Amino acid sequence: MTSFLVTFIQAVINGLLVGGLYGAVSLGLTLVFGVMKLVNFAHGEFLMLAMYVTYWFVVYTGMNPILSLAVSIPLLFTIGYLFEAFMLSRTLGLGDLPQILLTVGLSIFLQNFAQLLWSSNYRVVPVSYPNISYLFLGIYFSLPYLIVFASSLVIAAILWLFLQKTSVGLAMQAAAQDIVAAKLMGINTRSVFAISFGLGIAITAAAGSLLAPTYEIFPTIGSTFILLMFLVVVIGGLGDVRGAYLGGLILGLVVTVSNLFVTADLGQVILFIFFVLVLILRPNGLLGKMIK
């Protein structure tokens, strides 16, 4: 195989592995939009919080970072649920502006509160995934990437099963499709909203905890991710869970392949151009599902 072909395939593999993660991280955001028709601008900050939870968990217990999920998932679910129930719910039905501003306000609050509590020093989780790579057919498969990809698949699969097989999940889908009809069917949409929001946060938190060992953590890391999440969710179609995962994969590919040809920061610009093109040409996402 020519060396460029090898490099290219390596980039594709890495792109898919990283893309699975982008997808998992964005699942929560698209779920919240699908059910509640709102964009949570603070979503990146919940990712950040989950990362810190994992960090402190490992620092205090020295255990495997994966075990931190047992703390971060319930904790962030609860925070999300309470935020929705007591604050977000008051802005629904008043148009776009209040809810955008509320979540933006939350984003500012969380970023700066984190800075207040933990300073802006970069944190690195002390126990990390073993830095091994497997060589297979001339392509390197990095273990951390594989772990992260496998976890992203598990998260996505669990969410999918939840939505399809549980009554709460089905209620969420009903609310996403037609809120009025859902109410007429006796579904307690208030409760569905709160649970959906909590769940959306929890999923992102899970992804965050799994990611934490591979990143340097700081209070504004959420901002880096939020735009990525927007891109993924728009490409996949707002509210479309499978689309979000696919969108993540595509985005991962775009990032790694474009890195072969241009420098990293221009690569970001290419991402945004891609985003703009998708919005202009296929506003319902690449999968083109109908959204109202």
Binding map of another protein across residues 112-151, x = CB under 8 A, - = no contact: xxxxx--xx-------------------------------
What residues numbered 37-66 form the site for another protein, per CB under 8 A? 38-39, 41
The answer to whether residue 280 forms part of the interface with another protein (CB under 8 A) is yes
Query: Nearer to another protein by C-beta: 10 or 268?
Result: 268
The answer to whether residue 184 forms part of the interface with another protein (CB under 8 A) is no
The answer to whether residue 90 forms part of the interface with another protein (CB under 8 A) is yes
Is residue 78 within 8 Å of residue 198, measured between CB atoms? yes
Is residue 24 within 8 Å of residue 248, measured between CB atoms? yes
CA distance 24 to 154: 9
Among the listed residues 2, 4, 60, 97, the single contact to another protein using CB under 8 A: 97
Contact segment (CB under 8 A) with another protein among 2-10, 87-95, 125-133, 251-259 equals 87-95
The answer to whether residue 181 forms part of the interface with another protein (CB under 8 A) is no
* CB neighbours of residue 106 within 10 Å: 19
The answer to whether residue 234 forms part of the interface with another protein (CB under 8 A) is yes
The answer to whether residue 287 forms part of the interface with another protein (CB under 8 A) is no
Question: Which of 138, 129, 143, 154 has the alpha carbon at shortest distance from 20?
Answer: 154
Among the listed residues 66, 98, 257, 282, the single contact to another protein using CB under 8 A: 98
Query: Nearer to another protein by C-beta: 22 or 145?
Result: 22
The binding site for another protein (CB under 8 A) comprises: 33, 38-39, 41, 87, 90-91, 94-98, 100-102, 104-116, 119-120, 219, 223, 226-227, 230-231, 234, 238, 263, 265-266, 268-269, 272, 275-276, 279-280, 283, 290
